[in-house]
Amino acid sequence: MSASRFPLLDRRFLLTSLATLPILSASSRFASAQAPSDPLPSWKDGATKTSILNFVARVTTQGGPDFVAADKRIATFDNDGTLWVEQPMYVQLAFILDRVKAMAPMHPEWKTKQPFAAVLDNDFKALAASGEKGLVELVAVTHAGMTTAEFEKISSDWLATTRDHRFKRPYTELVYQPMLELLAYLRASGFKTFIASGGGIEFMRPWTERIYGVPPEQVIGSSIKTRFEMKDGAPTLFRLPDINFIDDKAGKPVGINEHIGRRPIAAFGNSDGDLEMLQWATLGASGARFGLIVHHTDEVREYAYDRLSHFGKLDAALDAAKVNNWTVVDMKKDWKRIFAFD
Amino acid sequence: MSASRFPLLDRRFLLTSLATLPILSASSRFASAQAPSDPLPSWKDGATKTSILNFVARVTTQGGPDFVAADKRIATFDNDGTLWVEQPMYVQLAFILDRVKAMAPMHPEWKTKQPFAAVLDNDFKALAASGEKGLVELVAVTHAGMTTAEFEKISSDWLATTRDHRFKRPYTELVYQPMLELLAYLRASGFKTFIASGGGIEFMRPWTERIYGVPPEQVIGSSIKTRFEMKDGAPTLFRLPDINFIDDKAGKPVGINEHIGRRPIAAFGNSDGDLEMLQWATLGASGARFGLIVHHTDEVREYAYDRLSHFGKLDAALDAAKVNNWTVVDMKKDWKRIFAFD
């Protein structure tokens, strides 16, 4: 496996510090009054919002030149950095690190064995030095060696009890309110909304329906292999320490095709990991298509990063947005609020 | 890859003859009058039909002890032998053989090279002798080396123009009318219906919505690997000659979990290839569950086969049905008609 096939490492670790960042005041707790019919109340009026409304109007206007039958209104969303926070590191990486620490008492040998010692010592330089091989080992011990039901419980319990260092809230509250409105608006307009994330498919599925309104069968992600076993008369799927699929970069169109079997007409991302998904959704196809990139420009209410970021690097995709006429969301200017609690 | 991972070969070729079988009179062209509310008019009254109606009533009765919320009403259906004919060979195998013959003029070397020579000579003994390696070669030349869009056109054109030897009809008319009614009845009862087939996922998707009402994103099947490529500014997925996933036997729960992310509460099959899917749907889980096996018992209107069949062998799963209280459909006794044209 080449390094580029492993998104966590390929985007590299931004692990120089786990120190909490200062909590700054959120500015737009009280959104201004909206016309009752506004489906996107957290989006400021302007070109960005208009581009969304216009696209939806075009594909849903029966008899219009760009009308798309409801069953073909497929929209795919990246997760990390598009629907929820991905700084100071991917949530799932925080889970991996916490799991290693939680499991360490049963593994005294980890105190002197890399990459585990690096995690236990918070030595992120050594962790990064362990490379892709190290990360695969960490995924194997934290994500495999148990049934799918057991993993669901472990990851769900962790998500329910863990708080983000900066915002002091569960990660499931660190979802972008404007994007929740967009998901709901698209569904109300007859779209089927999917997630296509580099994150683990089984890490996301337990909560995507509750948080995003996206049921498990509409979640696409990276996965490890599983093996079916009858155990005491009950069927189980046992999680194996082997990578099955990496749903990132050029893998996203592959995963989307495998799961959906037709091309989306709209795609939403925030990083170079989403470039090929946006190409797959919007280029070389007839009819109205829509691509959107969330540009993180608000260090006060959230984070500001793009071309130089380790997590969620946005470089080639930002250039491609200009060429391909994709909408670029300026979070600072386009969103009245970022989180529901703003 | 072990032989058991390759369903076409594992069930072996029943290729001793492609001679058409005699067309015998179909008996139930005129179904008896039904109460207008009967959702399953092609099913005869009796224990089989009652078991279906009772299960659906139990899981849809709000406030009842077995009520299941609509989003958890997941039903999975095998395709070959469960929704359409699989004799005298899987439809997709007929496609492979026809494709080799159609491509042969461009490959003069095939005249003396196995397994191609065996196909061109209709020498099914030699074809079977070429083993799994031979079959993989045939899949590679007929299913790979082109884009997904090109494969869709080739396979769809073939399906539209090819007639079954016995029934003199397109394969898409050789679907079981009672099962079409069952699919529609489940959907009308809030179920989401999926196909989980050992057949090729991209072979099925172009027509499952039109024929079964199952959209592409609810089709699970075997697949080969694909690679994303930008070609003259347009994105394509190029089909590679490498097996990605075999959705058969113990692979079915794996594929179902990967695509759906939760366990079905009902599963429908007809062969040992469906055993693990039925176990996954019905065993070791709380609440009402339903398993059904279509037993091919009608050699007059369709075919009669089970424990000794090469395609669609039904042996262990027939025994398991008794132990696990799965419904077994006796096609001859339980179905008033088999095809819409009966």
- Contact residues, chain B, for A256 at CB < 8 Å: none
Site from B1, B257, B263, B283 to mutate, A interface, most A CB atoms within 10 angstroms:
B257
One pLDDT digit (tens) per residue for chain B, 342 residues: 333 443 444 333 333 222 222 333 333 333 444 456 899 999 999 999 999 999 999 999 999 999 999 999 999 999 999 999 999 999 999 999 999 999 999 999 999 999 999 999 999 899 989 988 998 899 999 999 999 999 999 999 999 999 999 999 999 999 999 999 999 999 999 999 999 999 999 999 999 999 999 999 999 999 999 999 999 999 999 999 999 999 999 999 999 999 999 999 999 999 999 999 999 999 999 999 999 999 999 999 999 999 999 899 999 999 999 999 999 999 999 999 999 999
What is the distance between the alpha carbons of residues B336 and B342, in angstroms, rounded to a whole number?
9
Mean pLDDT in residue range A246-264? 97
Residue B334 structure tokens: 């339980």
What is the distance between the alpha carbons of residues A269 and A272, in angstroms, rounded to a whole number?
9
The answer to the question of residue B323 being in a domain is yes
A33 touches chain B (CB under 8 A): no
Residues 144-163 of A with CB under 8 A from B: 148
Give per-residue pLDDT as tens, A292-317: 999 999 999 999 999 999 899 999 99
Q: Judge: A254–B227 Cβ closer than 8 Å, yes or no.
A: yes
Q: What angle (nearest 5°) sits at the alpha carbon of residue A244, between those of residues A243 and A246?
A: 85
What is the distance between the alpha carbons of residues B187 and A115, in angstroms, rounded to a whole number?
50
In b/e form, how buried is each residue of A108-123, taking b as 16+ CB within 10 angstroms?
eebeeebbbbbbbeee
The answer to the question of residue A268 being in a domain is yes
Reply yes or no on whether the pLDDT at A227 is more than 60: yes
Round the CA-based radius of gyration of chain B to a whole number and report it: 20
What is the distance between the alpha carbons of residues A77 and A265, in angstroms, rounded to a whole number?
12
Residue A318 structure tokens: 């930002």
How many angstroms separate the Cα of B331 from the Cα of each of B45, B79, B234? 13, 16, 49
Site from A258, A263, A286, A323 to mutate, B interface, most B CB atoms within 10 angstroms:
A258
Q: What angle (nearest 5°) sits at the alpha carbon of residue B212, between those of residues B209 and B215?
A: 30
- Contact residues, chain B, for A284 at CB < 8 Å: 233-235
Of A158, A175, A182, nearest to A81 (Cα)? A175
A250 touches chain B (CB under 8 A): yes
CB pairs under 8 A between A and B: 98
Contacts 24+ apart (CB under 8 A), B316-320: B316/B272, B316/B275, B317/B269, B317/B271, B317/B272, B317/B274, B317/B275, B317/B278, B317/B293, B318/B293, B320/B275, B320/B278, B320/B279
* Residue at token pair 């390696």: B133
Residue B12 CA, chain-centre distance (Å), reads 16
CA distance A317 to chain B (A): 14
Number of domains comprising chain A: 1
Of B185, B8, B218, nearest to B94 (Cα)? B8
What is the distance between the alpha carbons of residues A249 and A93, in angstroms, rounded to a whole number?
18
What is the distance between the alpha carbons of residues A142 and A102, in angstroms, rounded to a whole number?
10
The confidence band for A132, taking pLDDT boundaries of 50, 70 and 90, is: confident
The answer to the question of residue A106 being in a domain is no
Helices (H) and strands (E) in chain B, counts: 13, 8
Of A96, A100, A125, nearest to A111 (Cα)? A100
The answer to the question of residue B301 being in a domain is yes
The answer to the question of residue A150 being in a domain is no
Residues 272-331 of A with CB under 8 A from B: 276, 279-280, 283-285
Q: Judge: B276–A226 Cβ closer than 8 Å, yes or no.
A: no
CB A263 within 8 A of CB A276: no
A243 touches chain B (CB under 8 A): no
CB B302 within 8 A of CB B331: yes
Neighbouring residues of A284: CB distance < 8 A, sequence distance ≥ 6: B233, B234, B235
Neighbouring residues of B16: CB distance < 8 A, sequence distance ≥ 6: B124, B125
DSSP symbol at B70: G
The answer to the question of residue B77 being in a domain is yes
B332 touches chain A (CB under 8 A): no
Residue of B nearest to A210 (CA): B71
CB B43 within 8 A of CB B234: no
What is the distance between the alpha carbons of residues A218 and A261, in angstroms, rounded to a whole number?
12
Q: Which structural domain range is residue A82 located in? A: 8-16+41-88+168-334
Percent of chain B, pLDDT > 90? 87
The answer to the question of residue B186 being in a domain is yes
Q: Judge: A254–B228 Cβ closer than 8 Å, yes or no.
A: yes
The CATH number of the domain holding residue B329 is: 3.40.50.1000
- Contact residues, chain A, for B230 at CB < 8 Å: 279, 283
Q: Smallest Cβ distance to A228: which of B219, B244, B276?
A: B276
B254 touches chain A (CB under 8 A): yes
- Contact residues, chain A, for B257 at CB < 8 Å: 148, 226, 237
Q: What is the mean pLDDT of chain B?
A: 91
What is the distance between the alpha carbons of residues A135 and A220, in angstroms, rounded to a whole number?
21
Of B200, B193, B179, nearest to B292 (Cα)? B179
φ, ψ for residue A166, nearest 5 deg: -80, -50
Residue B176 CA, chain-centre distance (Å), reads 11
pLDDT at B3: 37
Q: Judge: B230–A192 Cβ closer than 8 Å, yes or no.
A: no
CB atoms within 10 A of CB A125: 10
Give per-residue pLDDT as tens, B173-230: 999 999 999 999 999 999 999 999 999 999 999 999 999 999 999 999 999 999 999 9
Round the CA-based radius of gyration of chain A to a whole number and report it: 20
What is the distance between the alpha carbons of residues A305 and A87, in angstroms, rounded to a whole number?
10
pLDDT at A52: 98
β-strands A219-231, B192-200: how paired? Answer: unpaired
The answer to the question of residue B52 being in a domain is yes
Q: Smallest Cβ distance to B284: which of A235, A253, A257?
A: A235
